[in-house]
Amino acid sequence: MNITEIKSARAGDSYFKIKHSSGLVVYVYPKEGYRSAYAIIGTKFGSINNCFSLDDGEKISVPDGIAHYLEHKLFESEEGDAFTRYAETGASANAYTSFEKTCYLFSCTDRFEESMEILLDFVGDPYFTPQTVAKEQGIIGQEIKMYDDSPDWRVMFNLLENMYHHHPVKIDIAGTVETIAEITAEKLYQCYNTFYNLNNMALCVAGNVTVEQVLAICDKMLKPCEAHEIHNYFEEEPYEIVSPYVEQSFPVLMPMFNLGFKEKAEPLGDKKLAQTDILLSMLASPTSKLYRDLMDANLINNTFSYELFEGPGYCSVIFGGESRAPRQAAEMIKQYIAKAKAEGLSRDDFEIARKAVYGDVVSSLNSVSSIANTILSYHFSDNKLFDYIEAITGTSFEDVSERLSEMLDVTNCTLSVVKSPDAEV
């Protein structure tokens, strides 16, 4: 077993990466003086993995929403559900499914070993029957309907549908009431056996723990797992967006918008990620001229935000928030970006943004949950937390200017609006 210690003098922290003999990659980030521990295990199986094959086997297509459905069902075993088992240790447990991964987690302040055993046990022990699968239809059906009523959620998926021609990132993570009706115990097993292979998963534990503690439980609970080759099939996605504008009528009083710039989809290393984060802070954080002018023109309010939205085969930059005039807000954002590209960025803005981005990531190392979540996400995207921190301090003004020249194409963006039926936008 190979144990590597990864240190950051700047952050004053260190963590360990272990390739466990079972095939699982394990990260342990001890936090001195902390009482709590947070553990999260994830598999590289999210809503976008709806067409795949294993080794040389045939290509399999599965119903939309199956990764999320599987997440719900994995909590159950023949003896009862995992929540009941956690209730005996006092741990607080949860799970979530995103576009590219499914994760199971708990936090606790006592009896860490027992909770850790529960986690590894139920994630490694699927139990699906026609009856238990059928029961979940009602619960997830209501979860889907709750999201159907959420303007935040709708404005984003309408955007994705109008940016992406084929990529499954445009499909709602939970699927629809119709697609989940096609899910069977057999299909769940098929997905489980493909993606819940320890070689396709990672575990991260942060807080009041030691490497020895975590490895002892892994040794006890995990059996060596043969590695398989998983192929995920994504239809070729054109560079161009589908359509520049989409709107939906909704019972809302505050209209909302998302303006998405479709980017070339490529894995961003730590340096490019740092450059992008600094660039977006320069362009659109509350320190920027754009933010100020949007505010003064009453085009945004303090719900305005931006994000780099990326994963396997997709990448975009999304600006959004509430606005009573989303078209004008979008126009102003595009104009400012075009101007920055033509006239260049400001060095002052760069210095301020670099400090702000650095401060944000160092602050996030306070929290065991954000540490573990970030390391796990970075594992799946091939990034490294401390390299990212170093990359921020090492980024130059020229790097960021160069980055701007290759992204935020104002001719390749989509505006999505959600508004009440009678509102003029």
Partner 1 sequence: MSFIQRTPIADGVYFNSVRDSRFKTMKLSVHLFVPLSAETASENALIAGVLSRSCKAYPDFTALSRKLSALYGADLNVSSAKIGENQVISISASGLDDRYAIDGESIAKELSVLLCGVIFEPNLSGRAFVAGEVEQERRQLLDLIDSEYNEKRIYANARLIEIMCADEVFGIKRYGTAEAIRAATPESLYTAWEKLLKDAVAEIIYIGDSSPEKAVEVFTEAFQSIPRTPVTLRTEVIREAGEVKRVTEEIEVSQSKLVMGFRAGIALPETETRAAGLMCAILGGTATSKLFCNVREKQSLCYYCAARYDKDKGIIVIDSGVEGENIEKLEAGILKEIDDMKNGVISDFEIDSAKMAIINAYQGSNDTVGGIESWFARQLLQDGFRTIEEESALLSAVTREEIIAAANKLTLDTVYVLKNK
Q: What is the 3-state secondary structure (H, E, C) of the chain?
A: CEEEEEEECCCCEEEEEEECCCCCEEEEEECCCCCCEEEEEEECCCCCCCEEEECCCCCEECCCCHHHHHHHHHCEECCEEHHHHHHCCCCEEEEEECCCCEEEEEEECCCHHHHHHHHHHHHCCCCCCHHHHHHHHHHHHHHHHHHHCCHHHHHHHHHHHHHCCCCHHHCCCCCCHHHHCCCCHHHHHHHHHHHCCHHHEEEEEEECCCHHHHHHHHHHHCCCCCCCCEEECCCCCCCCCCCCEEEEECCCCCCEEEEEEECCCCCCCHHHHHHHHHHHHHHHCCCCHHHHHHHHCCCCCCCCEEEEEEECCEEEEEEEEECCCHHHHHHHHHHHHHHHHHHCCCHHHHHHHHHHHHHHHHHHCCCHHHHHHHHHHHHHHCCCHHHHHHHHHHCCHHHHHHHHHHCCCCCCEEEEEEECCCCCC
Closer CB to partner 1, residue 303 or residue 335? 303
d(CA 131, CA 129): 5
Smallest distance, partner 1 to C-beta of residue 105, A:
13
Closer CB to partner 1, residue 281 or residue 377? 281
Smallest distance, partner 1 to C-beta of residue 10, A:
8
Contact (Cβ atoms closer than 8 angstroms) between residue 221 and residue 121: yes
Smallest distance, partner 1 to C-beta of residue 23, A:
30
Smallest distance, partner 1 to C-beta of residue 143, A:
4
Beta strand pairing status for 37-43 and 51-54? unpaired
- Joined tokens for residue 319: 């600006």
Smallest distance, partner 1 to C-beta of residue 409, A:
27
Active site residues: 71
Closer CB to partner 1, residue 87 or residue 216? 87
Of 50, 29, 40, 374, nearest in space to 231 by CA: 50
Smallest distance, partner 1 to C-beta of residue 150, A:
7
Closer CB to partner 1, residue 35 or residue 347? 35
Closer CB to partner 1, residue 117 or residue 143? 143
Smallest distance, partner 1 to C-beta of residue 362, A:
5
Closer CB to partner 1, residue 255 or residue 311? 255
| End-to-end C-alpha distance for the chain, whole angstroms | 60
Smallest distance, partner 1 to C-beta of residue 403, A:
19
Contact (Cβ atoms closer than 8 angstroms) between residue 407 and residue 292: no
Closer CB to partner 1, residue 32 or residue 398? 32
Closer CB to partner 1, residue 10 or residue 228? 10
